[in-house]
């Protein structure tokens, strides 16, 4: 009798999964939650807005250090650049049958999806562990499976059971080790329905540590590599995803869209630029930046880097980072455009700030245009400056070499990644809708 009941439950679950998957083939959207939002498990009401902005600057600098490490030796496997205590956005993902829900880091700078599993040698945590023995759809992958061999030789191994064991390293000396597996992923769409994807690959993390805070249960990689969520969903989402980011002060969540729901409607203000492929670095999304205009003055790109693809677009880095020589030219143009004297001692990590308490810098900050190949993206002052107490500080920062287009610059834009056509599109948007 118990066996019959178990069979019926598994059969029903399979039918439900099939129904839900087919019901959402047009696409779906889920919430992205900013780490400093009251909706976030990281939320700390005792931190001031100025501290939020300063901490974001430190995280941006840390994150670019690990982009740099990943790019230094192209003959080696890329170390994922996510800085676990530098996470900007979180998403909810449910795994298993029956499904168990987790908060995980959403990261365009990494590929592997993994969740803490029991038994676990883990960092201190306040979120549940996934127990594979309680999921009727869980399967460990063999060493000769395609997902296992997609890992680099130093990222996987085999034990006596011939099951795939992964080992993944992150920036900041964080790590996860465990079993590469498959199970059903379930997402709660913003329209109130659930959408499921069976036989999805993820890491069942049994030995994890480093700079994880305990609020996150794992990481959902959204990069360009074969094990990322967007690559696994592939044809099911027509190789398209997009996001519309809100500032951290917003009372509602940002949106992450997949499939046809990710497509930006044709209209005024929509611009597109090619994604630049780098076979040795498939995780990262490279664009080509030709210059930045400050008001009416255009500053052409200058760099020591060779070839196309000079800037990474990344939802996980807060502030935009550009190479030092180019930054100096852009800063000079901003100083020339703003008829105020900058403060002599800007806050930690910021290079250019203006006092707003009496001078009224708000109305003096010009729009800036990022000139990507084929796409001019006009940024408002809230995309290029952040408020720290009574100061307005430039949210573009210098880097020794790597350049990143950060998420403050992307606030209130719908940003669509069409991986089939190899392009990224931008459209100004009210991301509360």
Question: Which residue numbers are catalytic?
Answer: 107, 314
The answer to whether 240 and 225 are in contact (CB under 8 A) is no
| Terminal alpha carbon distance of the chain | 50
Query: Which is it for the CA torsion 31, 257, 107, 194, positive or negative?
Result: positive
The answer to whether 292 and 369 are in contact (CB under 8 A) is yes
The helix or strand, by DSSP H or E, that contains position 23, with its residue range, turns out to be helix 2-23
Report the side by side order of strands in the sheet with 368-372: 297-300, 289-294, 368-372, 375-379
- ω into residue 98 within 30 of 0, thus cis? yes
Collapsed DSSP state (helix, strand, coil) of residue 209: strand
Cβ neighbours around 420 below 10 Å, total: 11
For 61-121, strand residue ranges (E) read: 89-95, 100-107, 114-121
Q: What are 153's two structure tokens?
A: 């030789």
Q: What are 349's two structure tokens?
A: 């990590």
Report which DSSP code applies to 212: -
The answer to whether 384 and 240 are in contact (CB under 8 A) is no
CA-nearest of 231, 397, 373 to 309 is 373
> How is 155-170 classified by DSSP, letter by letter?
GEEE-TT-BEEEEEEB
């Amino acid at each position: 009798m118990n066996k019959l009941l178990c069979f019926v439950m598994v059969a029903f679950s399979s039918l439900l999964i099939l129904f839900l998957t087919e019901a959402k083939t047009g696409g779906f959207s889920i919430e992205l939650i900013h780490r400093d939002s009251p909706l976030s498990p990281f939320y700390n009401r005792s931190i001031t807005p100025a501290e939020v902005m300063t901490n974001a600057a430190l995280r941006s600098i840390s994150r670019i250090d690990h982009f740099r490490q990943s790019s230094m030796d192209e003959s080696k496997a890329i170390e994922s650049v996510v800085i676990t205590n530098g996470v900007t956005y979180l998403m909810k993902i449910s795994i298993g049958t029956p499904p168990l829900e987790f908060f995980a880091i959403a990261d365009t700078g990494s590929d592997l999806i993994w969740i803490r599993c029991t038994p676990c040698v883990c960092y201190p945590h306040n979120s549940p562990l996934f127990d594979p023995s309680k999921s009727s759809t869980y399967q460990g992958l063999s060493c000769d499976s395609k997902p296992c061999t997609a890992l680099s030789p130093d990222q996987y191994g085999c034990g006596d059971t011939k099951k795939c064991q992964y080992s993944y390293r992150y920036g900041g000396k964080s790590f996860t080790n465990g079993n590469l597996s498959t199970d059903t992923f379930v997402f709660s769409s913003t329209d109130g329905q659930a959408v499921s994807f069976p036989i999805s690959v993820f890491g069942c993390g049994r030995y994890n540590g480093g700079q994880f805070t305990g609020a996150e249960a794992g990481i959902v990689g959204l990069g360009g590599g074969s094990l990322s969520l967007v690559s696994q969903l592939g044809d099911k989402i027509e190789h398209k995803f997009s996001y519309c980011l809100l500032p951290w002060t917003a009372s509602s969540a940002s949106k992450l869209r997949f499939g046809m729901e990710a497509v930006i409607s044709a209209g005024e203000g929509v611009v597109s630029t090619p994604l630049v492929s780098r076979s040795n670095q498939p995780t990262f999304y490279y664009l080509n930046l030709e210059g930045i205009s400050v008001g009416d003055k255009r500053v052409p790109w200058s760099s020591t880097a060779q070839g196309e693809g000079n800037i990474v677009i990344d939802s996980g880095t807060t502030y935009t980072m550009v190479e030092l020589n180019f930054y100096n030219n852009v800063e000079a143009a901003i100083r020339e455009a703003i008829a105020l004297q900058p403060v002599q001692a800007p806050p930690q990590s910021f290079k250019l700030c203006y006092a707003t308490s009496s001078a009224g810098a708000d109305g003096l900050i010009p729009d800036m245009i990022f000139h990507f190949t084929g796409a001019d993206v006009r940024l408002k002052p809230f995309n290029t400056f952040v408020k720290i107490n009574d100061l307005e500080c430039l949210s573009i920062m210098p880097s020794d070499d790597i350049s990143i287009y950060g998420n403050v610059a992307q606030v209130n834009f719908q940003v669509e990644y069409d991986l089939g056509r190899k392009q990224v599109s931008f459209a100004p948007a009210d991301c509360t809708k």
